[in-house]
Structure 1
């Protein structure tokens, strides 16, 4: 429990950025520093600078603080959520359990159907990692399902309600301005962001500016009260390779940079959401542009997917782009499941998506030379060369799957001590042959 907050309950502002700017190292910062192997002062200074965030709503008391930023390890997010066609609290809790078991660093509840308040409350109560939302989905619900009924009062009321529940970060589509609509018309796939498309519908119906942009200061005030971090949404992210890095995407990104500075002025933590579909040769450029436009605020990217034809396997196509993105500066990767573009993920899809992205994030940490990142890989190499099968299982990102595949053909316990697997058998194992050569010829 984050009991340190009790000692600051009378503080007017209780955001991590506020304390960092005052030179105060909070217990959350100390915890993050220990987990990350960083100097607590570095954590504080990076938060004060805006390059690192600790998304931890003051009302989510049992959350384990974690860091997203250039100085910390690359993180992954798992999306869960009900839909109008499939809504079940127990099903969402099962997804939370799967997310926690396999190592998601944050969870986003993207529910659009069922009792949204009850689902969110259950998810937050069950989760020890930060929970994020896209409030627009609830706002539509609270507007009777008609985007044209949206008002700033309803919008702010919904944000306040979710903040009180303990949501640690909001995806807000505040950077999509009315004047960007002509850029959308040039695209092959228009707007693929659900929140972005709803915002476009409202703006075109009333021919008025984005209400999230107009009410941004009021939104910041809510975030400031509860220490809700902002995940500034990329409404105009590319939904296909054809639209990648176009005028629509980059115009919005510039506005997100302006909104970042405004948030920092009010001590609100910020990360920036990034592109969805990007050719592999453009991924590095996208990472560098975000750092330039958005003042090195943490970049939170969806994929990016490096091809459009991997339906059913988009967890693979996106993990390729995610690894490269993490290598070149992305701070958190939003996972993609095999169901992307096809349907609502179930618990097993969540597992597959998380493991794909744990691979991508770990690969990025190794590529960036993070201290100790490769230690587990070296330990795995030693276990393999020593035929220590149980050690190999325990070191794997998915121990259950590793053991399951090994035991498909050699399930008996005796084979856990065997100096071979079913791939090469006892006579063709290269490790064993090498060891015999070393022993027989006294090679050191």
Structure 2
């Protein structure tokens, strides 16, 4: 079965494209051209039976993601489903399951229940579950094998996950740069931290980089959007646009091209902590290096001195990011950096991000129309 990217490249308009075009201020032909160029992706796993496909990229409206899931000491699936419903009520466009606590069986059960409970596209970082499985099987996350990781990816793909985040750009080159970099904050990426430890322990290349074609083969089979996450995103505004962040962006640009050539839709996950003056340069650089791939930003948070109010500081960053060309915002809750989010925190985070996306869209989309 051909992928959405392949269909668009061949000029074939599918029912999924027609649905997304009907939800946006765009013709189905223009949508298909944007997909073919790699500037638009559609989140839509065919195995998610009640899904409503979502388009991400310019000139579509900016979308908002809400992340939920368990932690080691916070495992309450009922409450996480309540957070899902709260995110839906506040207007989230997608959901990510970032569960890292509990057993592998519990992770499977929660993910499958989450997919049944929502029509929103669901995303994951499969590495999180692979680490749980390695700990159960071998007693240590560091004993995770490449084959086990890819088995987890395949399992989640079959369950109906529409977009998956991977730190493929963490390789020996970027890791060496990081180890020599004098950063204010160390790695803040959960997945990036474990992959760094795994590489140092085994003295091997990141399996997601070394076996990138194997990953692309799985994603293409299920038409899943690849979300290339930045392992070395800055953990403080001080570290924004340092050597390792910009070097990793160059590697991401290389991986984007390989994914497109393979027929896999791809978006790029960005920072993170970014001061206001760096938002526009960061997005311009990413868009240039990745030939205008959709950009999925975490906030960004524009200051490090407002814990407890990060839904507000990230809304400021999110509005400016969308105005500068970002396409997809991952919400930040008031609990970021200080606590595990509640149902109320989730609603507040989505509400702030939705407003930021709308404010940014007023500038981004109007500017684009005037430029035509």
Q: Give the TM-score taking structure 1 as reference length.
A: 0.79
Q: 1:89 corresponds to which residue?
A: 77
Q: 1:340 corresponds to which residue?
A: 336
* Alignment match of 2:110 (pick from 116, 119, 128): 119
* Alignment match of 2:162 (pick from 162, 165, 168): 168
Q: Is the 8 A contact 2:83 2:343 kept in 1?
A: yes
1:25 and 2:13 correspond: yes
* Alignment match of 1:147 (pick from 141, 146, 152): 141
Equivalent position SS for 1:285:
helix
Q: 2:64 corresponds to which residue?
A: 76
CA distance in 2, matches of 1:67, 1:318: 23
CA distance in 2, matches of 1:370, 1:89: 42
Q: Structure 1 residue runs of 4+, over 4 Å off?
A: none
Pick closer, same or farther for the CA change 1:369–1:156 going to 2, 3 Å.
Answer: closer
Equivalent position SS for 1:67:
strand
Structure 2, unmatched stretches of 5+, are none
Q: Is the 8 A contact 1:184 1:190 kept in 2?
A: no
CA distance in 1, matches of 2:273, 2:363: 22
Q: Is the 8 A contact 1:20 1:45 kept in 2?
A: yes
Q: Is the 8 A contact 2:63 2:93 kept in 1?
A: yes
C-alpha distance after superposition, 1:367-423 (max 9, x if no partner):
12449x9xxxxxxxxxxxxxxxxxxxxxxxxxxxxxxxxxxxxxxxxxxxxxxxxxx
Deviation for aligned residue 1:275: 1.1
Deviation for aligned residue 1:76: 0.7
C-alpha distance after superposition, 1:10-58 (max 9, x if no partner):
x3x3x21121112111111111111102110011111111000001111
* Alignment match of 1:315 (pick from 311, 316, 319): 311
Deviation for aligned residue 1:180: 2.3
C-alpha distance after superposition, 1:93-124 (max 9, x if no partner):
11111111111011110011121111101111
Q: Is the 8 A contact 1:300 1:333 kept in 2?
A: yes
Q: 2:274 corresponds to which residue?
A: 278
Deviation for aligned residue 1:91: 1.1
Q: 2:198 corresponds to which residue?
A: 202
Structure with the greater alpha carbon radius of gyration: 1
* Alignment match of 1:221 (pick from 209, 217, 223): 217
C-alpha distance after superposition, 1:353-376 (max 9, x if no partner):
0010011000011112449x9xxx
Q: 2:321 corresponds to which residue?
A: 325
Equivalent position SS for 1:143:
helix
CA distance in 2, matches of 1:137, 1:370: 39
CA distance in 2, matches of 1:273, 1:202: 22
CA distance in 2, matches of 1:77, 1:198: 24
CA distance in 2, matches of 1:224, 1:256: 18
* Alignment match of 1:242 (pick from 204, 229, 238): 238
Equivalent position SS for 1:107:
strand
CA distance in 2, matches of 1:183, 1:127: 41
Q: Is the 8 A contact 2:298 2:331 kept in 1?
A: yes
CA distance in 1, matches of 2:25, 2:237: 38
1:51 and 2:39 correspond: yes
Structure 1, unmatched stretches of 5+, are 1-10, 374-444
C-alpha distance after superposition, 1:62-111 (max 9, x if no partner):
11111100110011110111111111221111111111111101111001
Count of equivalent residues: 360
CA distance in 1, matches of 2:149, 2:306: 37
Q: Is the 8 A contact 1:147 1:201 kept in 2?
A: no
